[in-house]
Amino acid sequence: MSNSSGRSYGRRRVLVTGGAGFLGSHLIDRLLKRGDEVLCVDNLFTGDKSNIDHLAGNPRFEFMRHDVCFPLFVEVDEIWNLACPASPIHYQHDPVQTTKTSVHGAINMLGLAKRLKVPIFQASTSEIYGDPSIHPQPEEYWGNVNTIGPRSCYDEGKRCAETLFFDYHRQHGLDIKVARIFNTYGPRMHASDGRVVSNFIVQALRGEDITIYGDGSQTRSFCYCEDLIEGFIRFMEAGPDVHGPINLGNPVEFTIRQLAETVLAKIGGRSKLVEEPLPQDDPLQRRPDITKAKQQLDWKPSIELDEGLDRTIAYFRTIVAEKPARIGERHLAGVNA
């Protein structure tokens, strides 16, 4: 058997950076299910070992605490680069480190992929489109990004990472896969990362008022994590001529107010919707054009928001019951991401 770069192997040994995070841990579950050996690398800044505790004792799973800003010398057959804080609260906590993680991390992982001659996947983001002037956003759109704003550490870091990936592809013939991820939700989200789905669910479960930033008319599209991981797998298994960037997300659009009302209706209680000022550079619209994903990957989301929210609420009910004090430790502020 060989991978798309021609490297021969029996069972694949796969590296996942950011593997203890929300999406990374779900990806690892899927990779183990298909029979791979997985090396999970995470510095645990936003990742949580509880996301991978269920893998303890699995002989095909290994965890390494490491920061991708520093070189990594391992032998693997495939690299998935998911390492980077992904919510505004977390990536704005140390913006310089956020940029370093995106840029230095990309350089180090691309260098490793070049040495090993293996395919590499980059978890990019819809944030590279900024506050878009084109709706929905196709991959050809270059974006509308503030280069010096409070979100730019993440936006521009990811944009630079994309540049590096495509330059390594052009200059060194590297097999790259660049996925632009739109809003994704599901179990194992960080309860206090301020993202809109987790924020609303936790506030409603704790009987607090639900905070809407702006008037709630801004829109987002919400993709359930299981659907997104399926898109990841199909992308990585696509032929060596499919490099992206490819949008992965749910094209069904909701206003923030609609989401809040839906969550409140499902959970019940006496929480009220409370409006606060819209943060700087918060996008007013965000919805992917997934034409390329449909055509090149034969992929589209299958889990509707109603079902996905039920699964996510069930997860957070357990978290709130187990750790009622810790849920509110970090201030939930400033985003409807």
Catalytic residue ranges: 154
Measured between alpha carbons, how far is 305 from 310 in angstroms, rounded to an integer?
Answer: 8
List the one residue out of 129, 116, 84 whose CA is nearest residue 103.
84
Measured between alpha carbons, how far is 329 from 331 in angstroms, rounded to an integer?
Answer: 6
Distances (CA, A) of 222 to 148, 187, 196, 213, 287: 27, 14, 10, 17, 9
> Contact 128/92 with Cβ under 8 angstroms?
no
> Contact 179/122 with Cβ under 8 angstroms?
yes
How far from chain centre, in Å, is Cα 297? 19
Distances (CA, A) of 236 to 120, 184, 229: 8, 19, 11
User: 179, exposed or middle or buried, with CB in 10 Å at 0-12, 13-18, 19+?
Assistant: buried
Q: Where are the alpha helices (DSSP H) in 117-224?
A: 152-172, 196-205
> Contact 120/174 with Cβ under 8 angstroms?
yes
